[in-house]
């Protein structure tokens, strides 16, 4: 049971955290034909946009209400109205998703009221999907923005269903946390389909940000889940929520449609994957396909091969709560010791992280802890690379943003196959580090034995 502490510095040094509104915009990016709109000054959007582009290496649609100094003081109705009208006319989206920012929250703009007024003044927008979520920058973090936005999407876009009406037994809803990559969602979709289930994934960034070449240029998202499909999600037999952050959205779905949900706090690791497969087998009435039985064996073998390298490692990890919980738990189960753990925002899973303490703080906290406690493996998003270089320990990139390596969208960590890949990547990193930096020399051979014995070229 970890003790959760909060860093009490006045100055955040090397932030781990990113802001809520772009977490919200990220969720909107998983919808088809969507245009995320940040209600704020243009810089906030521009920074968010750059961040997504650097991570996904894709054109990313995102707009701003372009609040100026004056409109910020006077209130932003006209800017929201104009932005919606402009976007509607120019890019013909299927949905506009609006997130507030620190600027407009400080003023206290009532955007829900703005939307009602816009619909009144422009009858052709009466039925047009406009979803607003309040996400001030000065509270919480990226993950919270995603969480709130998905929950709101459920509340606004899912049609209520008659509880007596029969459900479609093959349909399931998937509500993924923002720590899952497009690759993870693709893997999940395949698994579900292999059980004969038809998933509706909300939001589905695997359709929109998985790296594809469209036939035509479109200024909105391409792929992702459509508004029409979201509307019918109430007909599904089950909702599968992944990551503790998705509880809120799953509950909203249940409240509105009566669809029961099962929350999987993590999907990386042997035991969580077993639980997941068992559940799918139960709800689909089908045995676990041979492919996954085989994959389970492969994962077990990978664990055997890698435990020599990962076992005993002192892990320093900086990530948003669900990702932190997911990866650190898996590595704990591989024999690593979660020695330094830093995260961005409060969450019920933090107490269950297998570490003595979890700090809500920044990368400086992580670096100092890692140094003081002699960590020899660092896992973090790309911003962690400076700390890893200074600490001179192997560094594995996980999470968002990952701007200095390719393929962020296709990294997978869910289920047997994803866990196996992650384990191999990490073990190889450790092996390479040993080859490069820890070759035995006479002096080191006389000091206490190193943690792992070298099995090179055996």
Partner 1 sequence: MTSLSATIQNVFNEPNCAKNANKSEAARKKGCTKQLQPGGAAGGCAFDGAKIALQPFTDVAHLVHGPIACEGNSWDNRGSASSGSDLWRRSFTTDMHEIDVVFGGEKRLYKAIKEIIAKYDPPAIFVYQTCVPAMIGDDINAVCKIASAKFGKPVIPVNSPGFVGSKNLGSKLAGEALLEYVIGTQEPDCTTPYDINLIGEFNLSGELWQIKPLLDEIGIRILSCISGDGKYREVACSHRARAAMMVCSKAMINVASKMRERYGIPFFEGSFYGIQDASDALRKIARMLIERGASPQLMERTEAAVAREEAKAWAAIARFKPRFAGKKVLLITGGVKSWSVVAALQEAGLEIVGTSVKKSTSEDKERIQKLMGHDAHMIEDLTPREMYKMLKEAKADIMLSGGKSQFVALKAATPWLDINQERCHAYMGYVGIVNLMEEIDKALYNPIWDQLRRPAPWDDAEINWQAKALAQVDVSAAGGEPTLLGAERAPPAKRTRSSKTVELSLIEDRIPAHGSSVFGAMALDTHTSAAGKQASENNLPAQPMSALQAAE
Give the whole-angstrom CA distance, residue 22 versus residue 102: 12
Give the whole-angstrom CA distance, residue 332 versus residue 314: 10
Q: Is 32 in the site for partner 1 (CB under 8 A)?
A: no
**Residue number of the CB atom closest to ligand SF4:** 43
Q: How far is CA 270 from CA 217, 279, 328, 419, in A?
A: 42, 14, 13, 8
**With CB under 8 A as the contact rule, which of the stretches 53-61, 235-243, 295-303, 421-429 interacts with partner 1?**
53-61
Indicate the residue among 36 and 203 with the shorter CB distance to ligand SF4.
Answer: 36
With CB under 8 A as the contact rule, the residue among 160, 287, 297, 407 that binds partner 1 is 287
Q: How far is CA 105 from CA 43, 58, 135, 250, 445, in A?
A: 16, 30, 8, 27, 61
Q: Residue 175, CB half-sphere, CA atoms under 13 Å: how many?
A: 35
Residue 88: Cβ-neighbour burial (10 angstroms; 0-12, 13-18, 19+): middle
**With CB under 8 A as the contact rule, which of the stretches 64-72, 240-248, 298-306, 421-429 interacts with partner 1?**
64-72
**With CB under 8 A as the contact rule, which of the stretches 70-78, 239-247, 317-325, 430-438 interacts with partner 1?**
70-78
Q: Is 44 in the site for ligand SF4 (CB under 6 A)?
A: yes
**With CB under 8 A as the contact rule, which of the stretches 212-220, 225-233, 251-259, 415-423 interacts with partner 1?**
212-220
Give the whole-angstrom CA distance, residue 168 versus residue 405: 42
Give the whole-angstrom CA distance, residue 60 versus residue 313: 38
CB of residue 408 to partner 1, shortest distance in Å:
15
- By CB under 6 A, what part of segment 214-253 binds ligand SF4? none
Reduced to 3 states, what is the DSSP secondary structure of residue 361? coil
**With CB under 8 A as the contact rule, which of the stretches 98-106, 270-278, 436-444, 445-453 interacts with partner 1?**
98-106
Q: Is 123 in the site for partner 1 (CB under 8 A)?
A: no
Four-residue CA torsion sign, 158, 162, 168, 173: positive
CB of residue 205 to partner 1, shortest distance in Å:
16
CB of residue 397 to ligand SF4, shortest distance in Å:
25
- By CB under 8 A, what part of segment 298-327 binds partner 1? none
The tokens of 202 are what? Answer: 């909300």
Neighbours of 114 (CB within 10 A): 23
Indicate the residue among 106 and 190 with the shorter CB distance to ligand SF4.
Answer: 106
- By CB under 6 A, what part of segment 21-40 binds ligand SF4? 40
- By CB under 6 A, what part of segment 82-111 binds ligand SF4? 102-103
Beta partners for 390? none
- By CB under 8 A, what part of segment 371-390 binds partner 1? 382-383, 386
Indicate the residue among 145 and 186 with the shorter CB distance to ligand SF4.
Answer: 145
- DSSP structure class, residue 110: -
Four-residue CA torsion sign, 269, 271, 276, 277: positive
Q: Is 14 in the site for partner 1 (CB under 8 A)?
A: yes
Indicate the residue among 137 and 333 with the shorter CB distance to partner 1.
Answer: 137
Q: Provide the binding-site residues for ligand SF4, judged by CB under 6 A.
A: 40-41, 43-44, 47, 102-103
């Amino acid at each position: 049971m970890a003790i959760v502490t909060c860093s009490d510095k006045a100055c955040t040094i090397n932030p781990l955290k990113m802001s809520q509104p772009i977490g919200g915009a990220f969720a909107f990016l998983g919808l088809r034909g969507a245009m995320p709109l940040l209600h704020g000054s243009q810089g906030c959007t521009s920074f968010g946009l750059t961040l997504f582009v650097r991570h996904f290496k894709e054109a990313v649609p995102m707009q701003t209400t372009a609040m100026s100094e004056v409109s910020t003081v006077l209130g932003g109705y006209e800017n929201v109205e104009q932005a919606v009208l402009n976007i509607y006319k120019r890019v013909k989206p299927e949905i506009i998703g609006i997130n507030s920012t620190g600027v407009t929250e400080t003023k206290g703009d009532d955007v829900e009221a703005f939307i009602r007024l816009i619909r009144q003044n422009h009858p052709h927008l009466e039925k047009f999907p406009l979803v607003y979520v309040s996400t001030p920058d000065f509270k919480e973090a990226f993950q919270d923005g995603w969480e709130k936005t998905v929950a709101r999407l459920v509340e606004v876009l899912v049609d209520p269903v008659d509880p007596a009406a029969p459900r479609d037994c093959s349909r399931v809803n998937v509500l993924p946390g923002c720590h899952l990559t497009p690759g993870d969602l693709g893997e999940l979709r395949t698994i579900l389909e292999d059980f004969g289930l038809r998933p509706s994934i909300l939001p589905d960034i695997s359709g929109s940000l998985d790296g594809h070449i469209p036939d035509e240029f479109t200024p909105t998202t391409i792929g992702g889940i459509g508004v029409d499909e979201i509307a019918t999600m109430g007909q599904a037999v089950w909702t599968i929520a992944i990551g503790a952050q998705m509880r809120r959205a799953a509950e909203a779905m249940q409240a509105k449609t009566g669809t029961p949900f099962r929350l999987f706090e993590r999907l990386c690791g042997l035991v969580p994957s077993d639980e997941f497969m068992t559940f799918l087998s139960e709800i689909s009435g089908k045995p676990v396909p041979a492919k996954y039985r085989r994959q389970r064996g492969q994962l077990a073998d990978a664990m055997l091969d890698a435990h020599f390298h990962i076992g005993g490692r002192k892990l320093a990890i900086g990530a948003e709560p669900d990702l932190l919980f997911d990866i650190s738990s898996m590595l704990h189960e591989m024999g690593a010791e979660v020695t330094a753990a830093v995260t961005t925002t409060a969450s019920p899973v933090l107490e269950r992280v297998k570490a003595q303490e979890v700090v809500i703080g920044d990368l400086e906290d992580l670096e100092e802890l890692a140094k003081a406690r002699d960590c020899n493996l660092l896992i973090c998003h790309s911003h962690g690379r400076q700390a890893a270089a200074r600490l001179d320990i192997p560094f594995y990139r996980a999470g968002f943003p990952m701007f200095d390596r390719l393929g962020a969208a296709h990294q997978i960590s869910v289920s047997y196959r994803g866990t196996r890949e992650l384990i191999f990547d990490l073990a190889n990193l450790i092996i390479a580090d040993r080859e490069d930096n820890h070759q035995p020399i006479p002096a080191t051979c006389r000091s206490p034995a190193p943690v792992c014995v070298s099995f090179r070229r055996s």
